[in-house]
Amino acid sequence: MCTDGGHNASSSVLMQAQRMRTRGIPLFIIPAGSPYPLPDLALQDVKAPTYGIIGETVQIPFTIKSTLGKETRTTLTLASRDTGKTVTRTVTIPAQGEVSDAVLWKIEKEGAETLELKLPVQPQERMHNNNASSFSIAGRRESIKVLVIDTLPRWEYRFIRNALYRDPGVDVHTLLFHPGLEEMGEGPGYLVKFPDRMEDLAQYDVIFIGDVGLGPKGLTEEQAALLKGMVKNQASGIVFLPGYQGKQMELLKSELGDLMPVTFLTAKPEGTTQRDPSPLFLTPEGRGSLLTMLADTEGENEEVWRNLPGFNWYAPVERPKAGTTVLAVHAADKNAYGRIPLIVTQSYGNGKVLFMGTDSAWRWRRGVEDKYHYRFWSQVARWMSYQRNMAAGERIRLIPNPERPRLGDTLTVNAMVSDKLGAPLQNGEVFLDITAPEGTTSRVQMDNMDHTWGSFTASVKINRPGTWKLTASSSAEPDKSVTLPVITMGETLEKTGQPVNTALMEEMTSITRGRMVKAEEIQQLIKEIKELPVPPPMETRILLWCSPYTLAVLLFLLTLFWIGRKLNGTI
């Protein structure tokens, strides 16, 4: 075999090598190509969101891979083909390395907008067709519905409620279990009781749970199960905001315990109070997260977080759970697992969970009023509700995963379906019409994941580039369907400029008991092959007595014999 070791087939070449070994075929490979890649800067893994809220900033992550021999400092340009607006981002790419970063873009118009992220071509580059990426982002005007639940009207509760109440894109309702009063808290936007009906609870995109536990002045087991179902099946978000009462420790015994992204020190439910305030320290994940972006650039953002007023109390957190993302930790205190995690996120089912382990974010207003405090909680509300706002439709909401599938991916489509009254569809069927880029359409019935929550799912194999149209309809209202377009970009299977993959070739020859051969050793290889002993003939034995063909021949011959006897008149 003469090869560079590269392959673009879906099956593993090592599996083919195993088959050759079982057949006794040695593999001799002659490497073809250069051991060094062509000098190039490649813009890769541009993961833009499918939509954004008008007036808000979205984060567009990207990766740049360099095969140049020296460090490169360059400036990326993100431009709108529709309006001409541009933003820039300066990055430094190490020699023979890669860097992952993100550029921020503010949504200013309603509807789809085509953007192009472009990397300037360097003089040393040999390939120029991988320095740009185009995509579209839809701007929307959305009203996020938020429910805030707490027991005492502490400072954190008051300022969060005010921040959300004054946000024009947020519709906030409040449920206050005041332990010192017979009645619930009252006022504009206040609820007199927990919304127990599914159609009432299902309207909320984000739910804040403060220093609330189980019992008469808290949540019931059934309500905790409803909240868990909201996150898992309805793609809602939950924000846990513990307080010094330690009431949230009681939630660990309920269904909400599975959603908690951290483990607690049960022996110290009241948390830790310190005399001197301590600041939050961003982790590498926190420095690159849009959730904790309080400035326009990462450098400015780190400076903002260093200068934010600190906190005197924090929750009794032991460690984060597996699969979570820690965005911020205690700047000084630590335990056997490291620094105390205080801002932790995780995905659960179709929704998201955020844990905020301190109740002093309201102190961020000192000297700057609502500049950072309002921005943080506004970003939290939009980040937590992203899945629901991304979903198309009202009675039927479709959530694709991944948002922007690649060629060859299996796209999982989750549907949240409501009936005519707005309650989750419990008795009915949901169908998904899949229209491929060339126009062919097929229909599948979506599987019911949860009868209680009207949650359905289906899978679509993305085997062609272009725009796929997914149209969902329910048996309850077949005339009211919703269509979700999914754009798949084509990929270059035969990549150029790559070095020879000697490691893979050596492994293949080792498996087959062959070897690597240099180009100048070809004549010697031919001589060795000629000198190999003649392989013994292969025998394949067929047991005629148990073969179905033998039985068929016998029946055929007996039939001919019987017909011949009849024709001769012999009985």
Q: What is the pLDDT of residues 240-266, one digit of tens each?
A: 999 988 888 899 989 999 999 999 988
Least confident of 17-31, 85-99, 464-478: 464-478
The mean per-residue pLDDT over the stretch 559-567 comes to: 88
Residue 341 has pLDDT above 90, yes or no: yes
Unique residue bearing structure tokens 């405090």: 373
144-388 CATH? 3.40.50.880
Domain segments of the chain: what residues?
2-35+499-530, 41-140, 144-388, 391-488, 541-571
Q: What pLDDT band is residue 363 in, cutting at 50, 70 and 90?
A: very high
The mean per-residue pLDDT over the stretch 474-480 comes to: 81
Residue 306 has pLDDT above 70, yes or no: yes
**Helix, strand, coil abundance in the chain, percent, nearest 5:** 25, 35, 40
What torsion do the CA atoms of 147, 152, 158, 162 make, to the nearest 10 degrees?
20
Residue 393 has pLDDT above 80, yes or no: no
CATH match of 391-488 with 3.30.565.10:
no
> Please, are residues 315 and 357 in contact by the beta-carbon 8 Å criterion?
yes
Would you tell me which CATH number, out of the four given (3.20.20.70, 2.60.40.10, 3.40.50.720, 3.40.50.80), belongs to the domain 41-140? Answer: 2.60.40.10
pTM surpassing 0.75? no
Q: Going by C-beta distance under 8 Å and a sequence separation of 6 or more, which residues neighbour residue 414?
A: 235, 350, 398, 399, 401, 449, 455, 456, 457
Residue 353 has pLDDT above 90, yes or no: yes
Residue 351 has pLDDT above 70, yes or no: yes
Residue 392 has pLDDT above 70, yes or no: no
Q: What pLDDT band is residue 405 in, cutting at 50, 70 and 90?
A: confident
> How does pLDDT run across 143-155, given as a tens digit for each residue?
789 999 999 889 9
The mean per-residue pLDDT over the stretch 415-419 comes to: 83
Q: What pLDDT band is residue 414 in, cutting at 50, 70 and 90?
A: confident
H or E stretch at 29: strand 28-31
User: Strands (DSSP E) along 418-531, which ranges?
Assistant: 430-435, 441-445, 447-450, 455-461, 466-474, 482-488, 515-516
Q: What pLDDT band is residue 510 in, cutting at 50, 70 and 90?
A: very high
Same fold, 41-140 and 391-488: yes
Residue-by-residue DSSP string for 215-256: STTSB-HHHHHHHHHHHHHH--EEEE---TT-GGGGGGGSGG
Among residues 198, 138, 238, 225, the alpha carbon closest in space to that of 416 is found at: 198
> Please, are residues 300 and 262 in contact by the beta-carbon 8 Å criterion?
no
